[in-house]
Homo-oligomer: A and B are copies of this chain.
Amino acid sequence: MKRLFGLIMVVALGCCFVLFERESIASPSVSDATEACLTCHTSIHPGMVADWRKSLHAQVSPEEALKKDPMSRRISAEEVPEDLAKTVVGCAECHMLNSEKHKDTFEHNGFTVHLVVTPEDCSTCHPVEVKQYGKNLMSHAAVNLDNNPVYRHLADSANGVQTFENGKLTLRPPDEETNADSCFYCHGTEVKVRGLKSRETNMGKMEFPILSGWPNQGVGRINPDGSKGSCAACHTRHQFSIEMARKPHTCSECHKGPDVPAYGVYEVSKHGNIYSSLNKGWDFKEVPWRIGKDFTAPTCAVCHVSLTVDEANEIISERTHQMNDRNAWRLMGLIYGHAHPKSPNTSLIKNKAGLPLPTELTGEPVSMFLIDAKEQEKRNAAMQKVCLACHSESWVTGQFVRFENTLKTTNEMTLTATKIMLEAWNKGVAKGLAQNDSIFNEAIEKKWVEQWLFYANSTRFASAMAGADYGVFANGRWTLSKNLQEMMDWLEFKLQGLKVQELQTTKEKPKARKP
């Protein structure tokens, strides 16, 4: 009878196992320091703690994580410091790491903690990813914008406050909070410690650091320990769910606007359609990620980041956090689509005209700073390996030929807009480089910006990711073409103004000459 009962329990437990497998992992211990944190913070920030409890960090110790076979492992360190190895990764494990390097470190209830956890901290267990990310343009998103006078002018012209007095507009440069709420929200702020502030709490008076540039989780954030980036941009605190990082919504936080409409394009692509329609049955947690088995269409991560394998566990693509190492071209025209920069630090680039741009104003690439054809070929091959997992060679070849043609024609349409703007500068109806004026502050210049930043970019993304509907009427070829007419009309209107002025002058002159 006992055996029978045992058997029944086996069946019952088996059923439960099927139902609850994911949650059945026995929890290893929490460190004393983290236990201390949780004592108060569970009630102060219940959502934060509950979110963390759902994370793998809360369920597996680094020591256990290292026991997994290398392909399935989610940590890339060969070994982990002994004092961190045996407990789960809790509050204290991250917020007390490398305290000495952190300017935001402070004494808190007997512990030495810091507020901002940085890639440098994460690299204790994830060194390979952090190193790769350092080669990613994203890690330099803040400095590349901040140190580039051309881009800063563009940002200032959008973010500054304009006032109207005596018939004229005047631009007041944007304040720090506005910048942090705009471009640098995604690019990353510089987080600085401004001092300490005393505050009444449930535990009595306590001191906390005052941070500027906070909150922020931009991809190129400059951190109080001097490091660059924020892993939390994609690996959302405090669950750090791989499922979430692999879903396209994460990328959409920064890549949906008309300047980089990758997500908007994905949504109307066949890939996006399959994802939206069928993803509820996919497995977003498996490592390595099995093409066809775990999912049947790519998300952003599949093509640009994840370690993917076929059914025989053969690697299709290696995991990368450089992300652009399967991209031959940088679609996002600054000002033209061009080969990817060699270095993630684009503020080093200077074109022949002395501008910090990867192409001349008339489109010629500044080749010495950009990857060469051989490297492009290598990257295309790496990307196409992913495509070929589901598509025939003729399909893939055709797609790439078509895309490169679109890159060429959208660059041509940008050049045309540039030429109209140059004409406006030459005719003296707008002020540009020669006049040492911002090239972003007049109406025709803003139309020029939209030509490449919105319309050429949208058309290129629509082509690259096969979401054609986005590249026709919604900010695509239609607008690319219409905008040129509007630039021409603006030019005509201003030239007309010159004529009227001339007529008025000559009307006055004869009178003067008469006597």
Contacts and interface: CB of A to CB of B under 8 A. Distances in A.
A51 B162 contact: no
Contacts of A467: 253
B481 A489 contact: no
Contacts of A163: 412, 416
Interface residues of A, number: 148
A270 B316 CA distance: 31
B493 A489 contact: yes
How many copies of this chain does the complex contain? 3
A241 B490 contact: no
B164 A423 contact: yes
A436 interface: no
B504 A503 contact: yes
A477 B182 contact: yes
Nearest to A244: B277
A391 B514 CA distance: 79
Interface in A277-313: 277-278, 280, 291-293, 296, 310-312
Contact of A45 (B186, B278, B390): B390
Interface in A202-224: 208-211, 214-215, 217
A4 interface: yes
Interface in A24-68: 42-51, 53-54
A46 B311 contact: yes
Given A217-B270, A507-B503, A485 B181 contact: no
A399 interface: yes
A261 to B, nearest CB: 9
A413 interface: yes
Nearest to A493: B493
A215 B239 CA distance: 40
Contact of A19 (B18, B244, B503, B507): B18
Given A258-B474, A478-B158, A389 B47 contact: yes
A423 to B, nearest CB: 7
A50 B185 CA distance: 41
